[in-house]
Amino acid sequence: MDSITNSADDLKTIRKIMEESSRFLSLSGLSGIFAGSYAIAGALVAWLFILPDHPAMDNSVLRFQLIIVALSVLILSIATSLYLSGRKAKKAGKSIWSPVSRRLLLNLMIPLVSGGCFTIILLFRNDIQLIVPGLLIFYGLALVNAGKFTYGEVFYLGILEILTGLFAALFSDQGIWFWVFGFGILHIVYGFIVYRKYES
């Protein structure tokens, strides 16, 4: 009986080692919560202070201000994610920079860079209303692509982001609310689930 129990424990240990060697498990759920909060705060800044001053969407000042808000959200989200994930990895005695994290980053960056280039093209063509749908879809594709190298929840978040982006393309005049839902609420829910499941 003891030998059966020991074999089961050995199998669990082997499975855990294999999972840790093939997946980046230092992502912090709190970083998702913070990223979602930053996105909602950015949308509120745009809604309350930028959009009322520029009723016409075809306005270079408006575009510049919205780009600054979006970049601020992005930079804050990345910085917070790196800090919290690094802290989690250090606490577990692991390095945040590993072959697995490099593969995750590569698979994440290809769709993200493509989406960034696509967004710049939309800006130059003045197709402003397609920017939020494009960002959501490409971001979702990036998460789906990177999901196999980390928690399964990342994959499902990516699917939801893609669906949100498609709906945003159908109702392109409501882009700010799809931004709030996709980059804000979905991130907060994802972060809460990951935190409760893997960190609490």
Per-residue pLDDT of the chain (200 residues; tens, 9 = 90+): 555 555 555 455 545 444 444 465 668 899 999 999 999 999 999 999 888 876 665 577 878 888 899 999 999 999 999 899 888 888 878 878 788 888 888 999 999 999 999 999 998 888 888 999 999 999 999 999 998 888 889 999 999 999 999 999 999 889 999 999 999 999 999 999 999 998 87
Residue with tokens 């994959």: 155
List CB contacts of 146: < 8 A, sequence separation 6 or more.
Answer: 104, 105, 107, 108, 154, 158
Q: DSSP assignment of 14-50, as one string?
A: HHHHHHHHHS-----HHHHHHHHHHHHHHHHHIIIII
CA–CA dist 162, 156 (Å, integer): 10
The token duo for 3 is 């030998």
Length of the chain counted residue by residue: 200
Amino acid identity at 125? R
Q: What is the largest CA-CA distance in the chain?
A: 76
